Structure 1
Amino acid sequence: MSEDTMPDVSLIRDADLRKELERHKRRNLLPKLLALEIQILIEEQTKRDASDAERQTELQAMPRDRRRRAEVHDHFLNEEPQAEDLRHLHSVLAICGLPYDRLPLDVREYSREQGNMAIDVAAGSLRGPDGSKVLQPLPFGPKARLILMHLCSEAIRQQSPTIEIADTFTAFVREMGFSDSGGKKGPLTAFREQLNALASCSIKISSWTGNKVRSRQFFPIEEMDVWLSAHHDQPSLWPSTVTFSHTMFESLQKHALPVNARAVRAFQGSARKLDLYFWLGWRIHNINEPLHISWDAITEQFGSGFTRQRDFKAKFKEEVGHLKEVLPNLPLKLTEQGLVLSPADPAVLALPPVRKPLKKT
């Protein structure tokens, strides 16, 4: 059999099938046998293509958020967690998070407790282009959390408290699944608002025992360089640099919690789901036996905005189900009494198997 009559090997595209093709070529098979092996690989590629097309049709019919979760789940089925998807967040922010929803501008403080720890956030102010003082809201919602993850990740990657973000921030916004459009209601404008709120706020972290209280207060962002537009009716451009305070950077280096950017993207529209994913990463790392947590404790941790626990329970169960759509091996079980969390390998959180040990907060 001549090369002219040999099946078209360009139809074989998947890496594993291409590898199998090369193996067959090295076997020095008779042309007819090689053609048969190539045809089998082409048929397998055709089946995969048909299955992929069918899956794409299913995905397109799904609501946006469900489709996003399904796409990330499919990715994790086909690929092991990769180091390039690794991001970081300060572990304290995985224990005691920010507000879920926008608070009125005249609300200048926010507190959150979890066990024997608390976070107190105080809103601040910035100067406008004309030098006037502009009150900033308390940082809130998923975008504030995503920004903190991005800044913490860049500080770890760049090994510096001063983070060059002029060229990385827009790419980060796109990576998280948002468009990079500006305008009054554009995603970039919303991200800019949260970055300004974070740049102006102060944070106090407290922990206590029966006879001792320890508190540490700091501005997470010590300095921010922003280029202002020359046109009065145009907003500021992205900052070129953001500098963490010494306290924040020093603490981050000791307590950097690894997370997977793809998993984060799956939950990018929900502050509570992000908090749950971050919290599970911290908890799973710090337990050696099953941990039982009551509904009262879960409500204290994640129930902000609910007046009735039964309403929160229903929503929480739904959101845990969404996490398991993406991460089906989460060692988490809900019972009538609360939540049971078991020790597990980092892979259940879509993390690479090797990571630096975290110090307990």
Structure 2
Amino acid sequence: MRSAHVVRQDPEDPLAGLEVADLPQLEAPAGWVRVRVRAAALNHHDLWSLRGVGLSADRLPMILGTDAAGVTDDGREVIVHAVITSPGWTGEETLDPKRTLLSELHPGTLAEYVHVPVRNLVDKPAGWSFAEAACLPTAYLTAYRMLYGAAGLTPGQRVLIQGAGGGVATAAIVLARLGGIHVTVTSRDDAKLARARALGAHDAVASGTRIAPVDAVLETVGEATWAHSLRSLRPGGVIAVAGATSGPAPSADLNRVFFRSLRVIGTTMGTLAELAAVRDAMVAAGIRPVLDSVHDFTDDDAGTTAVRTAFSRLASGAAFGKVVLTR
């Protein structure tokens, strides 16, 4: 089975350990189903795995990919929920201390087929492409939970989204506007700021710019933006943290946190019910995920080139929206 997988890990040159080759297809655990992958979106999680973060070397080679849309053996068109709970867990998926994502313990989605628990499937929206549907399980689910779960935003409130071009950031712009929220975004790239305005951001400013106080900040960047995030909050405001792509924050600035009664809430991914909810909200509003680029993962040299091009696009930081591989 042709797949994109990690064969070795390098913190400085993550793509050096990326290989596109045939691996044997493993037998599915009891109660799991097989999905023929039609599209898989890339995420920074894939780059972290290639760097050796969150994926132990004893699990290599590991097929990459958390996101997928495809077709089950009985013909159902589905979106895959990537959060895999431990056997016997009955609570909220994200609170299971032994939960994993696809490509951490179980093979991921950058292959012809992926196996998942039958409960980890929701129907693909009719009329959506598989490439569009594959964007939901990480970026759009994470953004939805950050906005409406962790931050608890309501219509008319104000949010700052750090880093205008990333998959979660572009998803958050779309979903915040859907909820009637005033959106400010930041970037160091003028072209990305212009695209963010076109996508619906009310204000798009250079990173670090002083802004009117906001009710919430969506933080996935970390070290490079943390101080600005804290300074931008109104008293009693909240930072929803779901990542740190530039590194961990250098200082929590606890004096500011307690003096202004700020809240910092960590959040990761979301539940199957939330995945269905964000899908239904977008369908009802007639909006689609933002695609940066789509690459054709064929079972030949051209497919290998497409995979490397897609990963290079993600790693470059130049993407605006989701980078997707299709089969």
Give the alignment's TM-score, normalised by structure 1: 0.26
Q: Kindly name which structure, 1 or 2, has the bigger radius of gyration based on alpha carbons.
A: 1
Greater strand fraction, Structure 1 or Structure 2? 2
